[in-house]
Each structure stands twice: as structure tokens, then as C-alpha cells.
Amino acid sequence: MSTDLTFITNESNRNLLDRFEVLIKDTLFFDCLVGYFYSSGFHAIYQSLENTEKIRILIGINTSRQTLELLESAQKPKRQQIDFSHAEAKQEVEKLVQNEMEVSEDNRNVEQGVHKFIEWIRSGKLEIRAYPSQNIHAKLYIMTFKEGDRDTGRVITGSSNFTQAGLVDNLEFNVELKNSSDYDFAKNKFEELWKNAVDVSEKYVQTIQDKTWLSQNITPYQLYLKFLY
């Protein structure tokens, strides 16, 4: 019986995180298109990505109905409309990060993962963009291998978001695509969306550091309470 399955369900010791560890160890570039990404879950992921040269994460943003109506009715040059949409996307990202961190576990593993997340953004290894024009519900992971490796790359798509639950805990249904034509199609589509998305990397870092429990601007008394907790 063949064990080279194309389906990954997180059952029977075959979870998506383990598969990533196998594929990513020699991966130059790792691109993700996901509806949800949780920086507080980064501790479960980053060790698989230590040797990856570049990571790009593209997330979907639900632009508010009020914003859409304003964009449709405004008689402004195209460039101004794009700028307004970008500002709205960054505001939405700030809300998402704050809401996420409010319900995240306050422990050392989470803190270490978030610090690694910030470190990689600062170094340029990790970049995050948001696509504000329409809601993205896709889950797509593209691995581009080093020259001379197995092949050009692999694609995994299915139900798993880029979170601890999606990679390990939940019962999911993902498929690994190995054909070069599938890789090329996915890569070209990702590049198209990436080009039109908003860079929110710095907004992620700023929100985490200024407006969450990982803020660096805390009083000695708050630090004492955190230590006790």
C-alpha cells in the first residue's frame, strides 16, 4: 500500500505541520494565501521555517460596506481611491491583531513565537500583505525549492488556515499538488494578488508592540502583575 498520499487531514500522525517540515527544509520561498493568520500561533510554525529565505503571507480583509459605498460614489482620481482603500485595510488589520491577542494564551511559548515573528519582519525575511478589494477565503501554500532539488516546487491547498488549529489540531482536508503546471498556475495567481495588495507588515508590529499585552511600554507595576499572572 502506497504511503505517498496527496491528502493531508491531520489524522493518524499525518498533520500539515509535519508535512511542511519535510517540504520546507530545503525551500527557498514560502508563499501563503489565507483567510486567517494568527501571529500568536507562530510558535507552532516558525521552527519549520528557520532555513527558508523568504516568507510572504497574503491575507484577506473584509472592507466595510460603508467604505465600499464611499469608494463607489466618490468622484476622485484612481490613485486616491487606492490610497483610501489601503488605509482602510491597515485599520482592519489593527483590529484583527488586537482582537486576536486579547484571546491568545499569555505564556512563554506564545511570547517567543510573536517575538520571532517581529524579528523576521524587521529583517525582511517575512512580509505580510492584505488584499482589500474582495474577501479572500482561499487557503493556498506554495513552496519553491532550491535549484537542482526535486522539482520546482509544491502546492498545498484545502481547508487549513495558517494557525495552530489548521496545521495540527483540527480535522482538515488538504491536497498536495506536485505537477509543474499546478505550481505555475498557483504561483502566477499569487503574484497577481500580491502585486495589488497592501503591505501591513509594519502595522502588525506596531499594533503588537503598542496595543497588546506584549507592549514594550508597560510600567514596572504592570510588569510585576504580569509576572505574578
Distance, CA of 224 to CA of 182 (rounded, Å): 53
* Calpha distance 167→34 (Å, rounded): 12
pLDDT of amino acid 196: 87
Has residue 153 been placed in a domain?
A: yes
User: What are the per-10-residue average pLDDT scores of the chain (229 residues)?
Assistant: 73 86 85 79 78 90 46 42 53 63 63 81 90 77 85 91 85 93 95 89 72 56 58
Query: Domain residues for 110?
Result: 7-228
Grid cell for residue 97: 491583531
CA gyration radius, the chain: 19
pTM: 0.74
Residue 80 CB-density burial (10 A; 0-12 exposed, 13-18 middle, 19+ buried): exposed
What grid cell was written down for 215? 507592549
Write down the pLDDT at residue 124: 92
What pLDDT is recorded for position 213? Answer: 54
Dihedral sign, CA of 164, 146, 4, 177? positive
The answer to whether residue 1 sits within a structural domain is no
- The answer to whether residue 16 is domain-embedded is yes
| Residue 137 within any structural domain of the chain | yes
Q: What's the structural domain count of the chain? A: 1
End-to-end CA distance of the chain: 51
Residue 11 in contact with residue 36, Cβ under 8 Å? no
Q: In this predicted structure, what is the pLDDT of residue 69?
A: 45
Residue closest to 149 by CA, chosen among 40, 29, 54: 29
Comparing CA positions, the residue from 216, 199, 34 lying closest to residue 115 is 216
Distances (CA, A) of 11 to 17, 43, 103, 159, 221: 12, 21, 27, 14, 45
Quick check: is 145 in a domain? Answer: yes
**Residue 22 identity (one-letter amino acid):** V
Given this model, what pLDDT does residue 226 score?
59
* 182 close to 155: Cβ distance less than 8 angstroms: yes
Question: CATH number, domain at 88?
Answer: 3.30.870.10
How many C-beta atoms lie closer than 10 Å to residue 113's C-beta?
Answer: 22
Domain annotation covers residue 212: yes
Report the pLDDT value the prediction gives residue 67, as an integer from 0 to 100: 41
